[in-house]
């Protein structure tokens, strides 16, 4: 891959992360809602955003520091990655259990379910964008060789998994900032 | 299909019913307090079943609690 493409990719990635961070910041609870406490599912959405951001950045750091084949080649890096993944899932599950316990009564109602259903569209867009990005990048990088290193399969799966969860959390948080009219 | 504007009198009815709290109403109809808050702010239109449940708590009909006015 040429230095130009790497520079373009890094700059585009940084711009995307900056734009995304700015957008997420704009979704924080507003004063117009009169200091309304977030719904249990909304809290889980924010926690999901945090967890997936940390795990995703951890994966990026491992790839940058160790290489794209860290899962196959480096047992320490592989251990760190699995620890990161399991910790992320454990934090998310513990957060949901704690939120449910504290909330008492109804935790997820019809409005939450409608928001959860709509968040799937955000997740789908994020997953599609992830796969398109991988396809374009790998095609550009390995078109001359005609074959792909096997380790990219793991990276494609895990990045799609993490970004899909990020997209679902983002969709949930976005849903609570919109007016909802049930059509049914 | 025209967009419907649905207003409601939940806030007034709560106070007329012994100053019922949002949490109490939410518990009685099986939703979260946040949903009652956005209902009162008219930022959410409930399902028919939730509308019936809310009206039932106040001993009213749906028409007494919710008002429908289609947009032009």
**Size of chain A, expressed as the number of residues it contains:** 184
Domain annotation covers residue A5: no
Domain annotation covers residue A76: yes
Over the stretch B26-42, which tens digit does the pLDDT of each residue have? 999 999 998 999 999 88
Encode chain A (184 residues) as per-residue pLDDT tens digits.
567 767 777 788 788 888 888 888 877 776 555 567 788 899 999 999 999 999 999 999 998 888 888 888 888 988 999 999 999 999 999 998 998 888 776 788 999 999 999 999 999 999 999 999 999 989 988 888 888 888 899 899 999 999 999 999 999 999 988 755 554 3
Q: How far apart are CA B8 and CA A30, in angstroms?
A: 23
Beta-strand pair B44-45/A180-181: parallel
Q: Which residues constitute the domain of residue B28?
A: 4-61
What's the pLDDT score for residue A183?
A: 45
Domain annotation covers residue A184: no
Number of domains in chain A: 1
pTM: 0.82
CB contact under 8 A, A106 and B44: no
Domain annotation covers residue A61: yes
Mean pLDDT of chain B: 89
Could you say which of A36, A110, A184 has the minimum Cβ distance to residue B34?
A: A36
Judge contact between A120 and A167, C-beta under 8 A: no
CB contact under 8 A, A110 and B32: no
Written as one string, the DSSP assignment of A22-55 is: HHHHHTSPPGGGTTPPPPHHHHHHHHHHHHHHHH
What's the pLDDT score for residue A184?
A: 38
Q: How far apart are CA B54 and CA A70, in angstroms?
A: 57
Domain annotation covers residue A8: no
Supply the ipTM of this predicted assembly: 0.82
Domain annotation covers residue B69: no
Q: How confident is the model at residue B10 (pLDDT cuts 50, 70, 90)?
A: very high
Q: How confident is the model at residue B59 (pLDDT cuts 50, 70, 90)?
A: very high
How buried is residue A149: exposed, middle or buried, by Cβ count under 10 Å (0-12/13-18/19+)?
middle
**CA distance to partner chain A, nearest, from residue B26 (Å):** 8
Q: What are phi and psi of B71, to 5 degrees?
A: -70, 155
Q: What is the CATH number of the domain that holds B57?
A: 1.10.260.40
Number of domains in chain B: 1
CB contact under 8 A, A182 and B46: yes
Domain annotation covers residue B71: no
Report the residue of chain A nearest B40, measured CA to CA. A33
Report yes or no: B33 at the A interface, CB cutoff 8 Å: yes
Domain annotation covers residue B34: yes
Judge contact between B31 and B45, C-beta under 8 A: no
Domain annotation covers residue A4: no
Report yes or no: A26 at the B interface, CB cutoff 8 Å: no
């Amino acid at each position: 891959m040429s230095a130009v493409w790497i520079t373009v990719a890094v700059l585009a990635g940084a711009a995307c992360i900056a734009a995304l961070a700015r957008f997420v910041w704009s979704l924080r609870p507003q004063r117009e809602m009169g200091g309304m406490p977030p719904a249990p599912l909304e809290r889980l959405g924010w926690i999901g955003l945090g967890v997936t951001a940390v795990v995703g950045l951890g994966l990026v750091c491992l790839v940058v520091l160790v290489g794209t084949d860290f899962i196959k080649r480096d047992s320490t890096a592989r251990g760190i990655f699995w620890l990161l993944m399991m910790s992320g899932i454990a934090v998310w599950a513990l957060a949901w259990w704690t939120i449910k316990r504290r909330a008492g009564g109804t935790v997820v109602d019809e409005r939450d379910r409608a928001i959860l259903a709509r968040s799937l569209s955000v997740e789908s867009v994020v997953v599609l964008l992830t796969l398109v990005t991988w396809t374009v990048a790998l095609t550009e990088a390995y078109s001359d060789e005609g074959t792909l290193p096997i380790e990219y399969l793991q990276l494609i799966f895990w990045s799609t998994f993490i970004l899909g969860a990020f997209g679902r959390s983002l969709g949930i948080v976005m849903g609570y900032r919109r007016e909802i009219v049930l059509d049914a | 299909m025209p967009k419907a504007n649905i207003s409601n009198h939940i806030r007034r009815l709560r106070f007329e019913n012994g100053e019922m709290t949002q949490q109490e109403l939410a518990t009685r109809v099986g939703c979260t307090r946040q949903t009652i808050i956005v209902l009162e702010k008219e930022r959410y239109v409930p399902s028919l079943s939730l509308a019936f449940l809310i009206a039932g708590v106040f001993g009213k009909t749906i028409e007494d609690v919710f008002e429908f006015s289609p947009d032009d």
